[in-house]
Structure 1
Amino acid sequence: MVSLWGTKDPDDRSEGAPHDTGDSSRHAAQTPDETTRLLPPPSTQEGYLSPDDPAVSPYNLWSVRVVRYFTVLFAAITFLWWTLLLVSIFVSPPGMNTRGSGFFDFSYSTLTLGLLLIDLLFFSAPSKAARVTCLVIATVLLIDTIIILAVSRLRAEEGGVGIASVVWAFLIALWSAFADKLVLYGKHEEEVRLTGREENRRTLREWLSVAISTIILAVCCVVAVLLSATLILRARDASLPPPGEHYYVDGDKYQIHLFCEGNSTNSHEKKVPTVLFEAGYRPFAGSMQQIATTALVTGSISRYCYSDRPGIGWSDNAPSPFSVGMAADALSEALAQAGEEGPFVLASAGVGSLYSRVFSSRHGPSIKGLLVIDPLHEDIFYRRSSSKRSFLLWAWGTISLLGLDRNFGALFRGRTREDRVFGRSSYQNGKFIKAKLQESLVANSLTKSEVSSARNIQLEKTPLVVISSGIRIRKDAEWQTKQRDLTGLTDNLISWDIVDEAPSEVWMVPRGLEMIRRRLKELVNRED
């Protein structure tokens, strides 16, 4: 008889000889197992199958099939996590908000999902290159995990969500290497059992699979290394101490940075207003600090404070959505914790004027003056809100984690941690980009409603000074019209000054800086 393996039964003396019924019954009753259940009818070629026979497959082994099932399960779990992290960038689900940008968590999950999809697509084509690359990625991710856990600031920003994302990515990289090795063992075992030897050659299809998977994994490895380099820069930046203090706001969900300097009374022991600055596009320390320092040194003001809006400078990111009114509430909470009761003169620039206007409308009698420097009109701000702009900011935030600009600047341009936290490179920070994305998402909804309400309830007697860029007014007629409209924010316009040679950051020219200093002095010393 022909056995299951395709060889002659030694008890068969001739074709017509009677069979041993006991042996036949034993073979008939044999329960299929992992080595028999998937085999086709026996081969007639010397008892072995052809190497190209579809039955010669590592899937014959239950262990290989189980690993594949688990890989599918891990891919499904990772996809759900990836979806939650994507949604949390735009709308933070309960428990999913982090004090960081959220882009790092999302990038680690994207990397994890990529590794699992590569495993599934090229599961039956194991290669040494794939295993080595996965182990390198796992090593890099382990380093990232250690950095996040070791640096308190990063640990606080990433929180449980970020830590879970990088640890999961590390474990999946190890799993990918393990699965590839197991498939290789299964492949060799089945080749020896069914063909009589290990197959050293590969088909063209197998070579293509190995080449494509290796290239994709190499790209994933480069991405992991770049993410790690950016994380190292973040750890370096976290060592830069803030000049002020951090205060928990919004139910201790995040912290904002608040700094105050100077005396609250003058030489006559009379309480004078504190100037509360609100920066424009860039962080205060990298832009308007010059105004505050000059005014304080020359005695134009006695005391000033500023806060970094969420996501800017030393402040954490706030949960999404986040509007101008929410920022004003967070600032009010931080000032109360710091014991800063006012009165205040508000000085703001650019988009910061919207935040100051909402804050002013909500603190009525305690606001003794409002100075806006080349302010952004709400109509122009609303037009910046579009799905295209929001998508571009999201894409920029995701790509920024590769640190191509930041890493290159640190290595070859001498960019320091000061540059990255509040200086000229701060716009490359993931937290900064997240803050701008949040502005864009609600500009034409929540923020529009809040700014409209602020204009309606603003105290009409509040002294107002508007200082505009002459360069911008000459180039843009609409900008001039909107600047003129903003002079009607209150019924108590002190002056509308146009600094002819000044850019939008009016204080960058001596005449503009002097104009701001003089107007601040007038507002601070103005009698009710």
Structure 2
Amino acid sequence: MNKLHPHGEEDDAARNQAQPAVHEYPPDEHTRLLPNRLDSTPYLSPDDPAVSPYNLWSVRLVRYATVLFTLLTFIWWILVFISAFITPPGLHSRGSPFFAFSYTTITLITLLATLIFFAVPSKSSRVISIVTAGLLLVDTIIILAVTKTRHEELWVGVASVIWATLMAAWAVTADRVVQWGKTEEEERLTGRPETRRTLLEWTEVLLSSIVLTLMAVAVLLMTCTLTMRAVDSRLAPPGQRYWVDEDKYQIHLYCYGNATDSKGEKTTTVLFEGGEDTVENGLWQLAENAVKNGSISRYCFADRPGMAWSDVAPSPLSVSMASDALGETLSRAGETGPWILASAGIGSLYSRVFSSRHNQDVRGIIMIDSMHEDLLGRVGSPGRGFLLWLQGIMSPIGIDRILGALIRGRNAEDRTWGRASYQSGGTIFAKLQESLVADSFTKKEVIASRQIQDPNTPVVVISSGDKIRRDSEWEDKQRDLTHLTNNLEDWDIVDEAPHQIWRTLKGRELIEKRLKKLAKL
């Protein structure tokens, strides 16, 4: 029984030579990760670190592409961030840079979440990303379809929302590719796809879902805000809009009344300048009543850049630049004066610079509780600037505007120029621009304008009694404004009147009385 075949040993040697060992094959992208293991067992443990979707070149390629997209988005995010302070050439948005910044921020966070949780795909993340991509597609359609939003966002906002849409779709694609690669490698190396998750993986899935859900909610709110912007665009301005600054943006101008008297001579036009609010929000009604009562014959007002129906101007924007835009608007509209300048609050600084550059056409100046240049530090404080910037980047989400429309009954007029206009991105950005240069460029320009102001121009100063009683420095500066020229007509202090003096009956009557007096000079 122990006898061997005479050729047995030779046959075994031949068979061994005919079947080379597994380890003699050249390594590929799978086997190089598994040294000496294929000889011992055909399958690995599911917990073995070699079981990874990164084994596949397609998964690695998707990750490299995601890293590239993240870097490009980060560069764009920096440019859009800077545009809130100094507008780079070609990156001007006529509405405000806040929508483009919000879309880019959402895109950057989505891509970072995709990278951080790349190796842990989940169905919940894919569903949330699909919802986000759908909402962003709706935003894209609204921006492109509505003339006003397309005009305001320009290519910067359009590119930002399109890129956000594509990257949300890419997040879905990347997650699906990783899921496919994970299943492929588990079947190949362990014999079956793994359905279990470790505690760390469940934590990563939870965090990923939370981050993506927050982004989806933010996009949903932005869609609601954008929808309100589209609805509000149907509200036509009372006047005309004119291109200024080499056709970079438009300024809204409205004039009403008789340009000539019964003898055919030109009448004096009152040129109103709003303060912290628009002219439409209070002073417009006063001007209408003054014309109806015969106190004045005609009035005009122009919305400063970013306010009401006027576009946002590039940054920086000082009082001198805004006054130049006003002068160009009046010239294009064929309005040549003569003027009585009626201004309120910080708007008086704009009127003073305008007056110094059009001395021959100005017949009088009336300042209603005017801001003094020495107090511009209050407007340009770093704390106020930071709060305005923070309010601006949150404005596209528009929670206050949405609640105002649903609960408080705010309408298009309220949001465009009325009591809720301070919530719009354009108005917030205009105030941020004002704050950034208030204590530097603007202050120097106002001081310079005082040196070239015609000393014979009649001046009326109307001050808030309530403001003077509470702020001694404000009282001193109101007194200093009475020396703006050598021709002070009146200095009135309206007792119990707030900063917006026209809100009281006594204040309205006094302002109208002073306007009538200046118009007859």
TM exceeding 0.5: yes
- The question of whether the paired residues in 2 share the 8 Å contact of 1:125 and 1:206 is answered with yes
Q: Deviations over 1:384-440 (max 9, x none)?
A: 212222121111101122111000110111110100001100000010000000001
Distance 1:374 1:137 in 2: 49
Do residues 423 (structure 1) and 414 (structure 2) align?
no
Q: Deviations over 1:289-315 (max 9, x none)?
A: 121011110111111100000000000
1:2-401 equivalences in 2 (<5 Å): 20-21=16-17, 23-24=19-20, 28=24, 30=26, 32-42=27-37, 46-401=41-396
- The question of whether the paired residues in 1 share the 8 Å contact of 2:22 and 2:39 is answered with no
Distance 2:35 2:247 in 1: 65
TM-score between both structures, scaled by the size of structure 2: 0.96
Which letter does structure 2 place at the counterpart of 1:239? R
Q: How much has 1:26 moved relative to structure 2?
A: 9.1
Which letter does structure 2 place at the counterpart of 1:28? E
- The question of whether the paired residues in 2 share the 8 Å contact of 1:142 and 1:170 is answered with yes
Q: Deviations over 1:241-299 (max 9, x none)?
A: 00000111001111110001111122333322111000011111112112101111011
Q: How much has 1:44 moved relative to structure 2?
A: 6.7
Q: Give the 3 Å change call, closer, same or farther, for CA 172–434 of structure 1 in structure 2.
A: same
Unaligned runs of 5+ in 1: 1-12
- The question of whether the paired residues in 2 share the 8 Å contact of 1:272 and 1:525 is answered with no
SS at 1:284 equivalent: coil
Distance 2:495 2:265 in 1: 37
SS at 1:286 equivalent: coil
- The question of whether the paired residues in 1 share the 8 Å contact of 2:76 and 2:104 is answered with yes
Percent of residue pairs identical = 57
Distance 1:199 1:502 in 2: 75
Q: How much has 1:383 moved relative to structure 2?
A: 3.2
Which letter does structure 2 place at the counterpart of 1:280? G
Q: Deviations over 1:442-471 (max 9, x none)?
A: 011110111010111111000000011111
- Does 396-405 or 457-466 show the bigger shift? 396-405
**Equivalent residue in structure 1 for 2:428, among 423, 426, 433:** 433
Q: How much has 1:33 moved relative to structure 2?
A: 3.1
Q: Deviations over 1:291-347 (max 9, x none)?
A: 101111011111110000000000010000001000000000000000001111000
Which letter does structure 1 place at the counterpart of 2:439? N
- The question of whether the paired residues in 1 share the 8 Å contact of 2:258 and 2:297 is answered with yes
SS at 2:31 equivalent: coil
Distance 1:424 1:264 in 2: 31
- The question of whether the paired residues in 2 share the 8 Å contact of 1:40 and 1:55 is answered with no
1:464-503 equivalences in 2 (<5 Å): 464-503=459-498
Q: Give the 3 Å change call, closer, same or farther, for CA 270–202 of structure 1 in structure 2.
A: same
Provide the residue aligned with 2:453 in structure 1.
Answer: 458
Distance 1:124 1:265 in 2: 77
Unaligned runs of 5+ in 2: 1-8
- The question of whether the paired residues in 1 share the 8 Å contact of 2:225 and 2:397 is answered with yes
Which letter does structure 1 place at the counterpart of 2:307? I
Q: Deviations over 1:188-229 (max 9, x none)?
A: 110000001111111111111101101111111101101111
Distance 2:110 2:40 in 1: 41
Do residues 509 (structure 1) and 504 (structure 2) align?
yes
Which letter does structure 1 place at the counterpart of 2:491? W
SS at 1:256 equivalent: strand
Q: How much has 1:509 moved relative to structure 2?
A: 1.4
RMSD (CA atoms): 1.6
Which letter does structure 1 place at the counterpart of 2:363? K
- Does 34-43 or 334-343 show the bigger shift? 34-43
Provide the residue aligned with 2:5 in structure 1.
Answer: none
Q: Give the 3 Å change call, closer, same or farther, for CA 23–45 of structure 1 in structure 2.
A: closer
Q: How much has 1:45 moved relative to structure 2?
A: 6.3
Which letter does structure 2 place at the counterpart of 1:129? S
Distance 1:307 1:22 in 2: 94
SS at 1:100 equivalent: coil
Q: Give the 3 Å change call, closer, same or farther, for CA 301–182 of structure 1 in structure 2.
A: same
Which letter does structure 2 place at the counterpart of 1:303? R
Q: Work out the number of aligned pairs and report it.
A: 512
SS at 2:84 equivalent: helix
